[in-house]
Structure 1
Amino acid sequence: MMKLRLFLFGLILLICNPVNAGNLSIKPFIKGSFTEIKNQHTNQPFIVVFWSESCSYCMKELAMFGKLYKQFPNVELITVATDSFLDEKTVKDVLRRSQLDVEKTWVFAEQFPERIYADVNKRWRGELPVTHFFSRDHQEIRHMGIINEQELLEWLSEQSSQ
């Protein structure tokens, strides 16, 4: 009877947890990681979202992505936590609360994050949220601040229809 209860409890946890913790890969984001991501996604649309656990606008934006993203599975979403060396449990919790079922995410792993900021964009000083949109033809649009939901829907729809 006890084994059955434990089995059912485990099953409930799996069903209720939208983040597939077993498949989630958390990679260290260091100088050169942004270039690596761009090189891995040629000829396909993708979005890179930079966020912080302490940024309320970031949490709002991640929740918006979680709500809309399932409708556009051919546009990959890549998340990057800018909190240096953020622990795995916190990352998974933020993604779970945002209902983001991503397979991989990144976390800043540099003692001096300013090096990463400059590597991503020479003008970036760490302001959040910041999102980089890459179209199928690899054109980049950088958006500072929270994204307008309607504009996000239009971009996702446009990229999905090509």
Structure 2
Amino acid sequence: MEHRQPPARSSRPPMTTRLCLRLCRRAIPVVPLLAVFFLPASAAELLLFTSRSFSEIRAANEGRPLVVSFWSVNCEPCKAEMAVLKRMHRAHPAVRVVLVSADPPALRPIVVRFLHRNDLGGFEIWQFGDEPEERLRYSVDRTWRGELPRAYFFDGKGGRTAHSGLPDEAWVEAWFAQAAPVESRTAPGKNADARAAPPRP
């Protein structure tokens, strides 16, 4: 009776395994690209900040109180200021708050994760685009040298206050209260006491 030896096993992995490895190797370079498409929903609300954006933001909010705050994911004082603005905005929703991330476009996934984790979906949020950082800063304020946080407070009546670093929380609270006072409960015809303009922080 003829005995046949079993066929020698190939040292190569099965076809399905080889196919998977090839696909995985091809997919590795596009992981960052895929991450952009599978970001949280707030990614769709992250607008591209160009050298024209600051003027557009101001024009879109002309006549109403506005705060524009520039920040970065690696800036701890920025996060503290953001918490203050979030709290003040809840108390005075008539004040428009715009957040602008000064981080480069390559950090978009990190920026989006930070925003999603800190529940900042109620704000209008931008991020620096591909233009040189110096040009973007110059389009905002010729005197701004890049320090963060950097915030601009517009009272809606032509007044503007610029501040670098973490502002005094009491000053921010007074500014919000004056810019968008809570509806008075006094009887009609009686005016509440006028608030004095808060000093600079």
- TM-score band, normalised by the shorter chain? 0.7 to 0.9
1:24-62: CA deviation from partner (whole Å, max 9, x where unpaired): 611111111101101111110010000011111111111
Distance in 1 of aligned mates of 2:157 and 2:164? 22
Unpaired runs of at least 5, structure 1: 1-19
Among candidates 73, 77, 85, match of residue 65 of structure 1: 85
User: What are the Cα deviations for residues 87-143 of structure 1, in whole angstroms up to 9, with x where unaligned?
Assistant: 444333323444433253100003410001111111111111100000121321101
Change (3 A) 1:74 1:114: same
Per the alignment, residue 138 of structure 2 pairs with 118
- Equivalent in the alignment of 1:152: 172
Q: Taking CA–CA contacts closer than 8 Å with sequence separation of 6 or more, which of the two structures ends up with the larger relative contact order?
A: 1
1:131-158 CA-partner distances (Å, limit 9, x unpaired): 0000121321101110111100000000
Q: Quote the offset at 1:86 in angstroms.
A: 5.0
In structure 2, relative to structure 1, the CA distance for the partners of 1:46 and 1:141 (3 Å cut) is: same
Among 151, 161, 164, the alignment partner of 1:141 is 161
Paired letter, 2:133: P
Distance in 1 (alpha carbons) for counterparts of 2:117 and 2:41: 13
Contact 1:63–1:99 (Cα < 8 Å) also in 2: no
The answer as to whether partners of 1:57 and 1:129 remain within 8 angstroms in 2 is yes
Larger radius of gyration: 2
Q: Supply the RMSD in Å over aligned alpha carbons.
A: 2.1
Amino acid across the alignment from 2:156: R
Q: Which sits farther off after the overlay, 87-96 or 39-48?
A: 87-96
Q: Could you say if the C-alpha distance between residues 155 and 116 of structure 1 is closer, same or farther in structure 2, counting changes exceeding 3 Å?
A: same
TM-score, normalisation: structure 2: 0.65
> Contact conserved, 2:95 with 2:180, CA < 8 A, in 1?
yes
Residue 62 of structure 2 aligns with an amino acid whose one-letter code is T
User: What corresponds to 1:48 in structure 2?
Assistant: 68
The 1:75/1:104 distance shift into structure 2, 3 A limit, reads same
Distance 1:38 1:64 in 2: 22
4+ residue segments displaced more than 3 Å: 20-24, 86-89, 96-99
Aligned residues: 143
Give me the identity figure in percent: 28
**Contact 1:86-1:107 within 8 A present in 2 as well:** no
Unaligned runs of 5+ in 2: 1-39, 183-201
